[in-house]
Amino acid sequence: MKTVQDKNLLEMPIGVFDSGMGGLTVMREIMRQIPNEKVIYFGDTARVPYGSKSKETVTRFSRQIVRFLQSKQVKAIVVACNTASAYALNDLEREIDIPIIGVVKPGAKVAAEVTRNGQVGVIATEGTISSNIYTTYIRKLRPEVQVTGKACPLFVPLVEEGLWQDPVTDEIAKRYLSSLIDTGIDTLILGCTHYPLIRSTVAKVMGDHVTLVNPAYETARELKELLMEKGLFNPVPPQLGTNKYEFFVSDGAEKFVHFANSIIKYGILGAKDRGLLSMTKDVVISVRGLQVMDNESAEDIETVQQGEYYERNGSIFLLYDEYYEGFDEPVKNVMKIRGNEMTLTKRGIINVQMNFEAGKKNLTRYQTPYGVMMIGLDTSRVVCLQEEKSLAIEIDYTLEANYQYVSDSKIRIMVRERKQQA
């Protein structure tokens, strides 16, 4: 493989694919660990699961998806599916001329390193277990290690139905894992990309003495090392508004969006057969609120946080987390700006959708840990000033609570591109 330093090549995206939605756990880790890279994700949701299909079928599907990703000019590919990694990766490596990695080797390597008693368990789909791929890789590193595999075919549909913390999942986990407990393993590989989403359930059943290995995390780490080794690592964040992450599915786009929004920190707007999503973790958002009461007293509050900016269909979107004293979980904020209208949605300990539209009064329910109130927003002015690397938003409005006047208020929002270290 050639080592390349061409700038245009560095800016090309990484391709990631899975049999369905589980590969989003790998996608999430890539977004966290190498945030400057563009990524194209493909979920074969029409043909999930792969774990019960033959090697020939999985390999054929994988080839089809790789051809699609190559049409998108990707510079590297991650097979974010354990079954496809077990069945198809060797063939794919011989057939394409760009770096390609799977999720099996990184997980196997870590498991071989961390086991103390030489007893490693693997939970995965039927296809991955029957391939013995984890056993092969682990014993190449440590021949004395004993590997015990357990197929858990019901975990994938349970995860894709969103039943992560459901009594049904708890009961099935106990039935699947009881035999592994009896083997005395001290390390367990979550050998399907769906399984990290039920990690807490698995950990509860297995106990504190068993180390859980998440191949999704390890794969993102190995991908970063591979990109640097091949001269493909992009040290520079994409420009503001760049189409950074794209999501494609073969079926069930709406279900995919719902599922993805529960996994990926800032959420996505949609997915279908053509790219439509832009996300960029590269802005600093300053929000300043001013309330004037009784024509004299004023309260001025300013918060500053890192967030994301993207544009879609003529609208600007800002996404950021906000923490409140005394609460561990953040409030997730989404701002949508279009013309003279801004919508602010908060989800978490505070739940509200606030619509600011010049010349209109809007009422909404404002839910807090201490109760619910009706608030009125009588907006007189919404101005959005956009430059190449900054965005300024000014909103003037009158605030009411439970139909009573509270204050004349102003919101001033400044968004600037965040400089990142190379």
**What sign results for the dihedral spanned by CA atoms 263, 159, 59, 1?**
positive
- Residues 141/108, Cβ–Cβ less than 8 Å: yes
Catalytic-role residue among 14, 81, 84, 354: 81
Question: Measured between alpha carbons, how far is 242 from 81 in angstroms, rounded to an integer?
Answer: 28
- Residues 66/92, Cβ–Cβ less than 8 Å: yes
Q: Is 384 labeled as catalytic in the residue annotation?
A: no
133's tokens: 């791929």
Closest C-alpha among 243, 245, 241, 247 to residue 270: 247
Q: Which amino acid is at 89?
A: L
Question: Measured between alpha carbons, how far is 120 from 247 in angstroms, rounded to an integer?
Answer: 35
118's tokens: 């030489």
Half-sphere exposure of 186 (CA within 13 A, CB side): 10
Catalytic-role residue among 108, 192, 198, 344: 192
- Cross-strand partners of 103: none
Element (H, E) at 177: helix 167-183
Read out DSSP for 199-218?
A: HHHHHHHH-TTSEEE-HHHH
Question: Measured between alpha carbons, how far is 196 from 198 in angstroms, rounded to an integer?
Answer: 5
Question: Measured between alpha carbons, how far is 403 from 398 in angstroms, rounded to an integer?
Answer: 12
* The length of the chain, given as a count of residues: 422
Element (H, E) at 324: none
Q: Is 152 labeled as catalytic in the residue annotation?
A: no
Residues in contact with 139: Cβ distance below 8 Å, sequence separation at least 6, in sequence order:
145, 147
Give the residue numbers annotated as catalytic, written as ranges.
Answer: 81, 192
